[in-house]
Amino acid sequence: MATYLITGGGGFIGSNIAMTLVARGDTVRILDNFSTGRRENLASIEKEIEIVEGDIRSMLTVERAMRGVEYVLHQAALPSVPRSIADPGTTNDVNVTGTLNVLNVAKEAGVRRVVLASSSSIYGNTEILPKHEGMPPSPLSPYAVSKLTCEYYAKVFHQLYSLEVVGLRYFNVFGRNQNPDSEYSAVIPKFCKAIIKNQRPVIYGDGLQSRDFTYVDNVVHANLLACSSPDAPGAVMNIAAGSRMTLNDLFLHLRKAFGSTIEPIYEPARKGDVRDSYADIALAKKVLGYSVVKNLEEGIVLTARHFEEVLRGTLS
């Protein structure tokens, strides 16, 4: 048993990590201001965890949340490329200043390791696929810049202060507890909600853009491995399924899973969106012993069932 702090633990990925840790008997503390995270994501384990409601931009709050903690799984962030384009200042404050607070406090508190959630968006548009960690970053949005800056801070804290930090670059994570109602929702929950409501979902661009859609169980698996792998500190690794699918094919898979015949609407591509995203996961396999525990097709079926259960009654 160990003691974990999950920043952003009320969010999509953080809550999935929390449920897994609780199930295996670890002690879990959550730090979340619930601006994008949701308390209902933690309803099944709320009596078994400690929740500190607060903002990572407050050093005092982070200090309070990190007392007695061995591992920090830093998932808290203000997500979404479009949101960052509309409001780059707030994205920077939450993602960069918040992460700097987490690293500073972790250094002083003597935590054993910090696992940092980063993003495939730092690569930008590249002709080379799959994308590997040796490629130069080329961020296309303030969100991507903020995540890359966090990686640089993590590297410096590891080098200067010997703080064990591991960076995980997530590729298009999806699954249970994703919020389908936000203006900035990811594509899969948006598609699921539209299909269930029998409304035509929007595809921006021609739909031939591709993504390495990664079911959330794989990301949870990677975070736990990153806490224990002896070779992980100082490394930054892609975490993905190691495959890709176009948005058109994704829509067809989801439509089939729901038994629908609805057709999408196509609108112009959005600024800051990456054309193709596909990960080389060899480094994570080597350093972490990472493997894909649920493939894309399995994840799509499980996610469709989840949203069917969660949304069908509320949207009728």
**pLDDT tens per residue across span 60-98:** 999 999 999 999 999 999 988 889 999 999 999 999 999
CA 129 to chain centre: 21
Given phi > 0 = left and psi -120 to 50 = alpha, else beta, which region is 203? beta
Residues of the chain by 3-state class (helix, strand, coil), percent to 5: 45, 15, 40
- 143: annotated active-site residue: yes
The CATH number that domain 3-174+215-241+278-293 falls under is 3.40.50.720
Strands 245-246 and 210-211 come out as antiparallel
Strands 245-246 and 173-174 come out as unpaired
Alpha-helical regions (H) of 87-141: 88-92, 98-109
Q: pLDDT (tens digit, 9 = 90+) per residue, 236-284?
A: 999 999 999 999 999 999 999 999 999 999 999 988 888 999 999 999 9
Q: What is the average pLDDT score of the chain? A: 94
Catalytic residue among 4, 143, 170, 278: 143
Domain ranges of the chain: 3-174+215-241+278-293
* DSSP 8-state assignment for residue 276: B
Please report the pLDDT score of residue 110 as a whole number.
Answer: 94
Please report the pLDDT score of residue 316 as a whole number.
Answer: 44
Show Cβ contacts of residue 97 under 8 Å, excluding neighbours closer than 6 positions.
57
Average pLDDT over residues 203-215: 95
Instruction: Tell me the C-alpha distance between 156 and 165, whole Å.
Output: 10
Instruction: Tell me the C-alpha distance between 249 and 230, whole Å.
Output: 39
pLDDT of residue 195 exceeding 70, the answer is yes
